[in-house]
Chain A
Amino acid sequence: MFAQLVDGIFWDIALWVFALGVLWRILSIFRVRNKPDYSVPRGSGLVGAIGANLRRFMPRAEMVSRTRLHVVAGYLFHLGLFALLLFAAPHVLFIEEQTGLGWTPMPYWAFIVAAQLAFIGLLLLWIHRVMHPVTRLISDADDHIAAILTFVVMLTGCMALIEEFDGLRVLHRFMVELWLVYFPFSRLMHAFMFIPSRAFTGAWFGRRGVKA
């Protein structure tokens, strides 16, 4: 009964909320216009925008010694998650079923290694967030829920790994649906926002001839 809901109407609702929510958030930010900048441009905004997007993948030289754990864990998590989401065999099959688009998945062991790296990254990141006195103070419920919900999605996924108990698959899918519904209203929007965000800062300062 629950399984039918999860595979049926819940999935549709989750997808629609996700799509419309993300769209609405992105549009509402882009609707806010800046006051026009009348100063003489000293550099290119476009170059600044692209440059900032690329440069901010690594921390500034002065910050490297302070952010080592964060950068390493961050990449472990995001790259692992990316590999998992798009190249794990069960997911590739699922996407193919839903959209008709298919591609070659990773070998099984690579899928698992990616999952482990993602788990290590996520655990380290969230524990560090709680342990560091500054991030502990400035983190709110949203930050914690986002991390924990993502962890639960991954955990239920790995519990359903052998794909032999439908209840576990349904649980995983249900967690994914919760995650999708939560996504547009949370910090998880950084997935879409980081590019325009970096672009804006980069363009703003790039126009003034400053590498941001």
Chain B
Amino acid sequence: MARMKFLCDAERCIECNACVTACKNENEVPWGVNRRRVVTINDGSPGERSMSVACMHCSDAPCEAVCPVDCFYFTDDGVVLHDKDICIGCGYCFYACPFGAPQFPKMEAFGSRGKMDKCTFCAGGPLPDNSPEEYAKYGSNRLAEGKLPLCAEMCATRALLAGDGDTVSEIFRERVTWRGASGFAWGWGVAYKKPGIRRGYEVEGKATGGD
């Protein structure tokens, strides 16, 4: 059984935001809500890196754990989805999520947020697959059509990978090997004030789907 995961290769991400736009368009996401976002660290400085992040569909999903009404569920592929009909808009999933995936259409006094919306791995929701009701509430259900999420499909540099975790990891491992684990050119930083060939790195934590 496939275990769906996202992996964003920060060495390739060029901050074009195509993934953000693709997701928003494909899923008709409400005004003010962005399921996916690109974050740039050290913007403008040497060592600038960009990462595209949305819901990572964690194995031990904190959102599911803290929800007071237990509106989250897992598909067989490991995709984390939720039921908007039950959601009460309390915001706890947003507090717990390490990646800030849950989004809310409103931000008003007295805790009125509206129903939580988040990346569904283009897998829709609890309503019948590819029905108009499902599309209106949750966006498109590409997984039911045998397709992968549109953000990864649209990525200009193939920085964002989505799909079965084993396949995605294998692709990434190939890249890291090809780039060279210690391809860091010593002295270029002193001589030319730039790090030159980027060095490989380790990405740890739940982002890789491991522990």
Direct contact of A and B (CB under 8 A): yes
Residue from the list A108, A109, A112, A164 in contact with B89, Cβ < 8 A: A164
Q: Does chain B have a CB within 8 A of A138?
A: no
Question: A162 in the interface, Cβ–Cβ < 8 Å?
Answer: yes
Inter-subunit contact A109/B109 (CB<8 Å): yes
Residues A108 and B108 in contact, CB atoms below 8 Å apart: yes
The digit string for B93-115, where 1 denotes a CB below 8 A from any CB of A, is 00000000000000011101011
Chain B, 152-200, CB within 8 A of any chain A CB: none
Instruction: Assess the A112–B115 pair: CB atoms within 8 A.
Output: no
Which A residue's beta carbon lies closest to that of B108?
A108
Q: Which of A131-147 contact B (CB under 8 A)?
A: none
State A191–B108 Cα separation when bound (angstroms): 34
- What's the nearest-Cβ distance from chain B to residue A55, in Å? 39
A113 to chain B, nearest CB (A): 9
Nearest CB in chain A: distance from B33 CB, A: 16
A19 near B: Cβ within 8 Å? no
Interface string of A160-202 (1 = CB under 8 A from B): 0110100000000000000000000000000000000000000
> Judging by beta carbons under 8 Å apart, are B115 and A164 in contact?
yes
CA distance A162 to B109 in the complex (A): 11
Nearest Cβ distance between residue B68 and chain A, in whole angstroms?
15
Nearest CB in chain B to that of A109: its residue: B109
Which residues does chain A contribute within 8 Å of B110, judged by CB atoms? Answer: 109, 112, 161
Cβ of A109: which chain B residues have Cβ within 8 Å of it?
108-110
Which residues does chain A contribute within 8 Å of B89, judged by CB atoms?
162, 164
The answer for the CA separation of A164 and B89 in the assembled complex, in Å, is: 10
Cβ of B88 to closest chain A Cβ, rounded Å: 8
Smallest CB separation, B15 vs chain A (Å) = 36
Chain A residues near B115 (CB-CB < 8 A): 164
- In the assembled complex, how far is the CB of residue B145 from the closest CB belonging to chain A, in whole angstroms? 30
CA distance A112 to B112 in the complex (A): 12
8 A Cβ contacts from A102-142 to B? 108-109, 112
For B108, list chain A residues within 8 Å (CB). 108-109
Residues of chain B at the chain A interface (Cβ within 8 Å): 89, 108-110, 112, 114-115
- Report 9 cross-chain contacts, Cβ distance below 8 Å, ordered by A residue: A108-B109, A109-B108, A112-B109, A112-B110, A161-B110, A162-B89, A162-B112, A162-B114, A164-B114
Sort A-B residue pairs by CB-CB distance and give the 9 closest, nearest first.
A109-B109, A112-B110, A162-B112, A108-B108, A112-B109, A162-B89, A108-B109, A164-B115, A161-B112
